[in-house]
Amino acid sequence: MSPSALTLLHPLSEPVTLIVSAMESKKSFDITVLDLRESSAFTDFFVIGSGQTSRQVKAITESIEARLKASGVRPSHIEGASHSDWVLMDYFDVVVHVFKSDVRQHYELERLWGAATRIPIIPSSSSSTGGAS
């Protein structure tokens, strides 16, 4: 299954592809995929994205959950959904982090996992960039 409006420059598992597509469908921006398979991490991938508001973060995470549920994949754990400033969704092989943009800048998760390989994503021309990097 190919994502509807994006191009991944690296072959990824179907859940990762579905997650990125679901994020883009709700105008998530600064989407980053970190490949952690070569590290001693507890998961294979992090998918990180941002929303402008708590309401948008909630919409992004609901979209991810619905898209994966339709494919028979359910999270083992979700944290932060009640506040929607930073929501973590654990799908075992993939951990999703959706932040409000200011919270993401504060925690700098990509810096903490700086040794991980970043998988390039080219957003479609129809997607919004929503915020500054």
pLDDT tens-digit map of 70-117: 999 999 999 999 888 999 999 999 999 999 999 999 999 888 888 888
So what's the pLDDT on residue 84? Answer: 86
Asked if residue 46 is part of any domain, the answer here is: yes
Check which CATH number belongs to the domain holding 39 and give it.
3.30.460.10
Q: Which domain holds residue 53?
A: 9-119
Asked if residue 42 is part of any domain, the answer here is: yes
Asked if residue 133 is part of any domain, the answer here is: no
So what's the pLDDT on residue 88? Answer: 97
So what's the pLDDT on residue 10? Answer: 54
Q: Decide if pLDDT at 129 tops 60.
A: no
The structure tokens listed for 37 are 């398979």
pLDDT band at 7 (very low <50, low <70, confident <90, very high): very low
If one counts the domains in the chain, the total is: 1
- Of 129, 86, 123, the closest CA to residue 104 belongs to 86
Asked if residue 80 is part of any domain, the answer here is: yes
- Taking the C-alpha atoms of residue 31 and residue 8, their distance in angstroms, rounded to an integer, is 11
- Taking the C-alpha atoms of residue 102 and residue 52, their distance in angstroms, rounded to an integer, is 8
So what's the pLDDT on residue 124? Answer: 60
Quick one: residue 34, left, alpha or beta (phi over 0 = left, psi -120 to 50 = alpha)? beta
- Per-residue pLDDT of 28-76, as tens digits, reads 999 999 999 888 788 999 999 999 999 999 999 999 999 999 999 999 9
Asked if residue 101 is part of any domain, the answer here is: yes
Asked if residue 124 is part of any domain, the answer here is: no
Asked if residue 17 is part of any domain, the answer here is: yes
Please give the model's pTM, rounded to 2 decimal places.
Answer: 0.83
